[in-house]
Each structure stands twice: as structure tokens, then as C-alpha cells.
Amino acid sequence: MKQQDIYVYKPDCTKSKLADTADPFKTELIRNALNSAANQMKRTLIRAAYSPIIYEAHDFAVVLYDKNLRLLAQSPALPVFMGTMNFCIEAAVEGAGGVDELEPGDVLLYNWPYGTGSHAQDASITIPVFLDDGELVGYAACKAHWMDIGAKDPYCTDTIDVYQEGVFFPGIKLIKRGEWNTDILKMARANTRIPDATIGDINAQVACCRIGAQELLRIINRYGLETFTACIERMMDHGEAIMRSYLEKIPDGSYFAKGGMDNNGVDSDPIEFEVGLEVSGSNIRIDFSKAPPAVGGPVNCPHASTVAGARVVITMLANCMEQPNEGHYRPIEVVTRPGTLFHPTPPAPCFLFGWSLMPACETLLKAIGSAAPQVVPARSGGCILTLIWWGKRAESGEVWAAGSPLPVGQGGHARNDGGTMIHMIQAFGQVPSMELWEAKFPWLIEKYELGTDSCGPGKHIGGHGVDITWRTLDDCYFTSTVEQTKTPPWGLLDGQSGRPNYAELTLPDGTVKPFGKVTAAKAPKGSTIAIRSGGGGGYGPAAERDPEAVYADVARGYITEEFARQHYPSAFAKQSAKVASQA
């Protein structure tokens, strides 16, 4: 595919004089009211959704935008969706005929990957919000993962074009002037292997967005549109100021780092890429333009999610401690090159878009660390290790499907050891409880524990990986997205590497089959599937770790004594000297 000129994306930073007229107390009241409205949307979706991947794993985004497609509020859910929804809304409105074709009571459905930034299963619902006089004032929107949308398999690691990845809804009115388009519902039901769950989740998304639209109108009507508009401008200026105060602490300059992936899911060739950044005062330019051409497997990451990944990294480092708005993104400029890994164009496959974005985010952290290592962590396990399962129950014939991300060790950092949690791009997601898994699906959890000796040694150790083993109680199939099995998580400032990710299937006859990315692998009844997730890299020299912390790690079973003596010999030398002196 021929590479085109670079594409620069930057939000509008134009200041409005209205901000100067806004009352600071009312601004804070409106900001918190908007965040509360977004949180109400989230709770509605969780309560109404049919699929555990929504109500347990939180694989969704809920947002409120103004009429100019500026983010007003986004409830914490899936960070990889953070800041992608303006692309969804804009494309959905364009697909439905443009702003002039919108009417009160309309509900739009859109899931074209190059607009949403996601795979087709991440479908967006958008409701335009109108005042009583018919003036458009904003949008309530939700993007959530449907468990199946008619792709070649319920979850894919081996697609070679986007048309194998599911059915598309390119900006259509699911509801027009309050009346459901039943033909669209029939189409959705006909193009999924689990129709009841899919229709249930569609209804939940619509209910969620209706709550958002209702609350946005309530806030505007309470304060008046003029006051609301002025306070929004002040709110966004404040978000921008927070971000700029952080970016000013990073030394000016140009920095870069290299990262990579095991393969593209179709062939075994490794993928290498470079991420750069340029810091100038309180502005940051993140450069993905040196990425390789879009690859033949589904790990290409659409532009909207590339932008979101940059925003996730910078806003998390800034530690804003508040829900974001458009102002937080103003200082962040993102450069891509259409036709490449981080800005694919149709029909490049992109089902596993997040699996290139995760190492890209880690590589961006590494680049920032070359300028300011005290503000970034070492590398994590680098993947969400999602497994998707499906099959038919032997007794009833009922079709079932399940899926979840899994936790990895996070990198150690200047202030402390790394933790064990889901990768940063899904940081507000969560793993379903073992009890829920065993109650709803035909398997047993035989092991779920921290992986001994999985952490990267250092002054501050990396977080521990997790060892999980399932035993199947019925014949089933699974798709694995396990990545970063060949590259151990790097340490920082002489910290050492953690263990890489690993997965294996053991068949009933004892045959062991290691796997990484694989689609529709069969797991006969009585098989076991084991995941050993990666540990985070260590931070700082291991010789500087507090000996008491080393002894505590051994006592708790986090590391073996053999591991401790290998990586922290000075701790045991000090212990021996202490014993000798006491004798």
C-alpha cells in the first residue's frame, strides 16, 4: 500500500472570551454535574447490559459532547476509548446525512472501524440532544463491545481484510423521531451467533444514551444555555492549564524509542516500529509517522485509537485525578501517516487494533523516560491477554460465549513497586469473578494466583504476573490474543526484565500445545488452558532494594529464596553479617 503524506491531528485550541465571564463556582457545579451524568450513563449500561464483557469487564465508553464535538464528560471505563468518541459521533452523523438531517428522537448506530477506531464489534450509539426550540446542543454517546457481530469467527486473530471482521452499520438511524427501525434490528439479529445477547446489549446502549441526553438537558435548563456555554469554556481552559503545567516539567527536546510485536496473527514475522515525541514548552507532538506500512494481519490500529493511545499515556502521567474534558487534550498533537500500522485505510484488517496500540503506548513511555525517567514506569506485561470462548452446552444445546482481559504485572517506578492489574489501555476494566465464570460457563478454575518469580528485579520491583488455569467441562472453542511472548518487559534505570507472557493448551491425552495468537482452537472436554501473564520490569538497580523488602517478598511467596539470592546477593550478605555480629 502506498504511503501518503503525514497527517497531523490536533484539537482546536481557540480561546473564547466567554470563559472570562463564567462564574468559577457555577463552572465547578456544572463540571461535576456533567461527570455525574456520565456516571449515571455508566450505571445504566451496566445494569441493563446482557453480556458480562460489558457489565463485568466494562468494555465500553459513555460520553457527553457539545454540538462542536468537544468532550464534556466521560465516565471511567475503558481508557483505550478515551477521546475516540468525537470520531464516532462525527462519522455517524455524516453517515446519517449530516447535522441538518438530525431530529429529536433520532438514535444513530455506527461501527465502521476506521471511524470508531475499533473493530466492528465495538458498536457506537449516538443520540443528538435538542432544546425544546429545536436547537442542537450536544450528543450523548456510547461505544460497547458486542460479543459477536457475524465475523468469520466470534473473535479473530487471522483476518486478512476488514470484510472478514463483521457486519457494518455505517451511520444509520436505528430510531427515527422516536420510532424503531425494525429492519435494522432484524439485520443485527441475523448477523450474530448470539442474537438475544446482541439485541439486549443494543437496548442497554440506547437506554444509557437516553439517560445522558436527559441529564444534559436538565443541566442546561437549570443554568440556562448562555451560562452553561460560558462555564464550559472556562472548564476546558482549566483542563488545558492542568495538562500544560505537567508538560512544562518535561525537558524540551526530541525523543524516540523502538518497540515491536511477536507477529501480525497471519504470519510469524516480527513487527518493529518507532514512536517519537517532541516537547516544546507546554506542547507535545507525538509522532507515529515512522510506522511500517499496514500489515496483512489484523493488528493495524485505526487513527482514532492511535490518537486515543497518545491521550491515555499523557493524561495518566499528568495524574489529573479528574474525569477528562476536551481541554485536557489541547496540548497534544498526534502525527501519523495514512496507510501505515497506526493509520490504516480500507480494507486493511484491524480486528486486533489494541494489540499494536499496547506496545506503542509502552514505547511512548520509554521515549518519555529517556528524557524524564522519574516520571514513567518500566514496561508492563504489555498485553491484555484476552481469551474469547464459545460453544454449545452438551445437555441443552444452548450457545454460549464469554471473554475477558487478564491482568499483567506493571512496571516498577520511582515511587514504588509495580502492581498487578489490567494493562493501562483497559485500566478501568475488570476481570469477572471466578464464581461468575464457573456459574455461567462450562469450566472450572483450577488455579488463579500470583506468579512466583515473575517480577522484574530492581530497587522497586515490577508487579507480578498471574498464573491462571481453566479446565473445560464441555467441548468448546477459543480464540487467544496473547502477545509479547518473545520480548520480556524491559526495566528502567538498571532495573531488570520481568518474565514474558506465555500460554499453553493441554489436551486430555496430555499433549501440550503452546500458543500465542490463535483463532477458533478446539479445547475438548477435559482440556486445560493455562496463562502465565508477564511481570513488570524493575526500576533502579536491584542492589539498592531494601533488604527487608527482599525478605518480605520471600516470606510471602512472591519470590523464591533461590531467585532472591541470585538477584539480591547483597541483601543476604547483610543478613549474614548481622547474624555474625549478634553472635
* pTM for the model: 0.93
Asked if residue 347 has a cis previous peptide bond (ω within 30° of 0), the answer is yes
User: Residue 320: what pLDDT?
Assistant: 66
Residue 583 has pLDDT above 80, yes or no: no
pLDDT level of residue 57 (50, 70, 90 thresholds)? confident
Residue 264 · residue 271 · CB < 8 Å = yes
Which residues, other chains included, contact 478 with Cβ-Cβ below 8 Å and sequence gap of 6+? 387, 388, 389, 390, 520, 521, 523, 529
Query: What does pLDDT average to over the chain?
Result: 93
pLDDT at 527 exceeding the cut of 50: yes
pLDDT tier for residue 580 given thresholds of 50, 70 and 90: very low
178-to-48, 140, 210 alpha-carbon distances in Å: 20, 15, 11
Instruction: Write down the pLDDT at residue 464.
Output: 98
Tell me the C-alpha to C-alpha distance, in Å, between residue 480 and each of 8, 305, 459, 462: 34, 21, 34, 25
- Report the range of poorest mean pLDDT among 432-441, 500-509, 541-550: 432-441
Cα angle for residues 248, 305, 112 (degrees, 5° grid): 155
Cell of 564: 532472591
Predicted confidence band at 577 (pLDDT cuts at 50, 70, 90)?
low
pLDDT tens, position by position, 73-95: 999 888 888 778 999 999 999 99
**pLDDT on residue 13:** 78
Read off the pLDDT of each residue in 557-581 and give the average, rounded to a whole number. 80
Confidence class for position 581, pLDDT limits 50, 70, 90: low
- Grade residue 398 by pLDDT with cuts at 50, 70 and 90: confident
- Strand ranges inside 67-224, DSSP E: 71-74, 107-110, 122-130, 136-145, 170-176, 179-180
In this predicted structure, the answer to whether residue 321 has a pLDDT above a threshold of 90 is no
Look up residue 237 and give its amino acid. Answer: D
pLDDT tens for each residue of 34-50:
999 999 999 999 999 99
Res 449: pLDDT: 96
Report pLDDT for 211.
98
Report percent pLDDT > 90 for the chain.
84
Residue 428 has pLDDT above 80, yes or no: no
Given pLDDT bands bounded at 50, 70 and 90, which one contains residue 2?
very low
As a residue count, the chain comes to: 583
Which amino acid, residue 447?
K
pLDDT > 50? residue 1: no
What confidence score (pLDDT) does residue 576 get? 57
The pLDDT value recorded for residue 401 is 83
Residue that wins the pLDDT comparison between 58 and 205: 205
CA dist., res. 531 & res. 480, Å (int):
10
The grid cell for 519 is 483463532
Residue 308: its pLDDT value, please?
A: 94
Q: Which stretch of 271-275, 318-322, 455-459, 472-476 has the lowest confidence by average pLDDT? A: 318-322
The pLDDT-based confidence of 19 (bands split at 50, 70, 90) is very high
Query: pLDDT grade, residue 103 (50/70/90)?
Result: very high
Residues 395-400 have a mean pLDDT of 86
| Between 12 and 315, the higher pLDDT residue | 315
Instruction: Write the DSSP string, 489-558.
Output: PP-BTTPPP-PPPEEEEE-TTS-EEE-SEEEEEEE-TT-EEEEEPPPPPPBS-GGGS-HHHHHHHHHTTS
